[in-house]
Amino acid sequence: MRSRIPEEIIQEIRDRTDIVEVISSYVSLKHSGANHQGLCPFHSEKTPSFNVNSPRQIFHCFGCGVGGNVFSFLMQIEGLSFPEAVRQLGEKVGVEVPEEDVSPAEEKRRQEFERLVRINEVAADFYHQLLIESDEGGPARRYLRQRGYDAETVKQFRLGFAPDRWEALAGHLEKKGFDLKLVREKTGLLREGKEGRGDYDLFRKRLLFPISDIRGQVVAFGGRVLDDSLPKYLNSPESPIYNKSRLLFGLDQAREAMRRDGCGIIVEGYFDQMALYRAGLANAVATCGTALTGEHGRLLKRYTDRVLLLFDQDKAGRAATLRAMEVLLPEGLSVAVVTLAAGEDPDSFLAAHGPEEMKQRLEAAVPVLDYFIDLTLEQHGESVEGKARAVEQILEKFRLLKSDIERDLYLKALAERTGLEESVLRGKAAAPRREAAQSRPTVQPARKPVTENGAPDFGDKAQRNLLRLLLLKEDKYRNEVRAGDLESFFPTELYHQTATYILSAEGPEGELKENLIDHEQLSGEQVELLSSLILLNEEEAELLGETAPQLFADCCRAVEKKRLAEELAEINRQEREAAARGEDITHFQMKRIEINKKLKRS
């Protein structure tokens, strides 16, 4: 089991760190009142909404909602875990972070991971030197020059060359003292020799593309022949450090550009990604010889909400586009398709037309569902039978959309385009969902923002305001809430959990601890919520102090109104049941009148 980094170590690192100084190394900040402001590094914007508060040592973007403390910022911007962010800052400010206690099995896994990364890094350096310095690398250097790639690009991507020798890498690694059996069994860079022969290299006579993880560590390779021999591409097999369904080529270089530009570009090949990067489109990544997966989608979602698919325009490229639609839309990503002329790929298009025309193509990208609708209607033709089959296939894909609003708009558009009644399409789209719902057991959530009996929701605004009162220095409102029914005040899970955390963060005298944001106790959503509320309280401290009593009274009224509405809904239910049994309902009517009077007064 991992042990927590001691709180006193975290506190010492926090005390020695200035969040403004740390963030300034990534973002240009300007002083504005109590805060520093700049353009958010996590989404594209023209007007600064990214705020850093030095007294409270927190940041928050009121545009995209990202926020937290200095550790949160590093975790987001560098893709680090909390312990990694603590260690990185500790190293910077001269605070030693003790090694974590780990089980023997976990320590063994960690050591193996480090050894395997080291093997791949040594192999990358070996192949890179062969490409840039050796006579054997001459054909590969000429090949790259012919495709327009200079020495700077070669170094930037650490491209390499595997010579036409059976044991070039095997001999090099053996001289470096590596266990060749471990290399063969755990990285796949070597293959087992037969008939008493030694291990031999996986890659021979190929241009090599190192594949890095999100931290920039080489974990695998992709190899391409320089002629027409087959297979054209050969990739490292999966290993304890390489899962092709969880990695994207170039993501370690592209993630910041994705955040800045507000979108990512997905291409199929290594050269396509490099061509876009060289053209100034640094937000591009490539798949590593596999179809896109849901895990790829979740990985991309960390850095952007919008993805452009830039695949070949042949049959295989269209199929890859539709597969991508299937896995990316359910992850909540906005997906669009960039089209090129038949026979062109991003690399050849840029060579022929240049970056500006490519940017125009990117700007003209078509939403992937529109692309699918066009393709499906065209394929099935204008016959009644063909149109019916096309519409059924299209309706099936509408279920990939997470947004009800977007689904509704697509249904309207499909009705207009096909001439079918919108009500018919809605019925067809809903029917399978009802059948699926009937086949599943009903699971009731523990708490819902809107009650099933029709009672009005105690909304976000009231709950957020109440949380702001709990964050005030004096403990008056915390005591008031603690004395009442916490679930009545905070029916929404996120706010309920955050309120519980705030109430547990008091000291012996009722004071809140100074550093409320604790990544080991809070979810990412809670960190962002707290950072936004703390900053709002700082900015509106005087106004909040004056209006706090009225604000709390309003919140209490909202709670009471919700309780009365629920009681009324229950009375109505009981009245209907009594009437159905032929019983007297006068007392229900009197009770309803009484509750309605209270509701009018509340």
pLDDT in tens, 240-271: 999 998 899 999 999 888 888 889 999 999 99
Report the share of the chain in percent with pLDDT over 70. Answer: 94
DSSP for residue 37: E
- Determine the Cα–Cα distance for residues 41 and 257; give it in Å rounded to an integer: 9
Which range has the top average pLDDT, 40-44, 170-174, 565-569, 574-578? 170-174
> Could you tell me which residue, 481 or 485, shows the higher pLDDT?
481
- Determine the Cα–Cα distance for residues 88 and 308; give it in Å rounded to an integer: 33
φ, ψ dihedrals at 159, nearest 5° = -60, 150
DSSP for residue 259: H
- Determine the Cα–Cα distance for residues 66 and 159; give it in Å rounded to an integer: 36
pLDDT in tens, 115-141: 999 999 999 999 999 999 999 999 999
Is the per-residue pLDDT at 353 higher than 90?
yes
Superfamily of domain 104-235: DNA primase, catalytic core, N-terminal domain (3.90.980.10)
Torsion of CA 533, 535, 540, 546, to 10 degrees: 50
Under CATH, to which class is 251-364 assigned?
A: alpha beta
Contact 294, 325 (CB under 8 A): no
Please name the amino acid found at residue 366: V
> Could you tell me which residue, 343 or 115, shows the higher pLDDT?
115
- For the domain covering 7-93, report its CATH number: 3.90.580.10
Lowest mean pLDDT among 357-361, 364-368, 384-388: 384-388
Residue 423 CB neighbour total at 10 angstroms:
10
Which range has the top average pLDDT, 316-320, 576-580, 596-600? 316-320
Question: pLDDT-based confidence at 3, cuts 50/70/90?
Answer: low
Residue 518 CB neighbour total at 10 angstroms:
18
DSSP for residue 11: H
Among 54, 18, 20, 84, CA closest to 519: 84
Question: pLDDT-based confidence at 373, cuts 50/70/90?
Answer: very high
Question: pLDDT-based confidence at 63, cuts 50/70/90?
Answer: confident
**Token match 């042990």: residue?**
3
Three-class secondary structure of residue 29 per DSSP: coil
- Determine the Cα–Cα distance for residues 74 and 558; give it in Å rounded to an integer: 39
The mean pLDDT of 499-523, rounded to a whole number, is 83
- Determine the Cα–Cα distance for residues 78 and 73; give it in Å rounded to an integer: 8
Number of helices (H), then strands (E), belonging to the chain: the values are 26, 16
Q: What is the predicted pLDDT for the residue at 451?
A: 36
Contact 57, 14 (CB under 8 A): yes
Q: Is 221 exposed, middle or buried (0-12, 13-18, 19+ CB in 10 A)?
A: buried
Q: What is the predicted pLDDT for the residue at 447?
A: 34
> Could you tell me which residue, 442 or 507, shows the higher pLDDT?
507
The Cα angle at residue 79 between residues 501 and 219, in degrees rounded to 5: 140
Is the per-residue pLDDT at 44 higher than 90?
no
Distance of CA 194 to the CA centre of its chain: 46
- Determine the Cα–Cα distance for residues 188 and 221; give it in Å rounded to an integer: 10
Average pLDDT over the chain reads 86
Among 207, 105, 219, CA closest to 154: 207
Q: What is the predicted pLDDT for the residue at 203?
A: 96
Report the share of the chain in percent with pLDDT over 90. Answer: 40
**Token match 């009245």: residue?**
575
> Could you tell me which residue, 423 or 60, shows the higher pLDDT?
60
Q: What is the predicted pLDDT for the residue at 251?
A: 93
> Could you tell me which residue, 402 or 593, shows the higher pLDDT?
593
Tokens of 594: 């009484």
Domain boundaries, the chain: 7-93, 104-235, 251-364, 372-439, 460-596
Q: What residues does 50 pair with on adjacent strands?
A: 38, 61
Which range has the top average pLDDT, 38-42, 150-154, 479-483? 150-154
- Determine the Cα–Cα distance for residues 553 and 536; give it in Å rounded to an integer: 20
Question: pLDDT-based confidence at 64, cuts 50/70/90?
Answer: confident
Question: pLDDT-based confidence at 459, cuts 50/70/90?
Answer: low
- Determine the Cα–Cα distance for residues 101 and 504; give it in Å rounded to an integer: 27
Is the per-residue pLDDT at 363 higher than 70?
yes
Three-class secondary structure of residue 32 per DSSP: strand
The mean pLDDT of 316-325, rounded to a whole number, is 91
Beta strand residue intervals within 163-283, DSSP E: 190-191, 200-201, 206-212, 218-224, 233-235, 264-267
Residue 444 CB neighbour total at 10 angstroms:
7
Contact 400, 385 (CB under 8 A): no
Q: What is the predicted pLDDT for the residue at 102?
A: 63
Q: What is the predicted pLDDT for the residue at 433?
A: 46
Cα–Cα distances in Å, from 232 out to 228, 396, 578? 7, 37, 77
φ, ψ dihedrals at 593, nearest 5° = -60, -40
Which range has the top average pLDDT, 226-230, 383-387, 576-580? 226-230
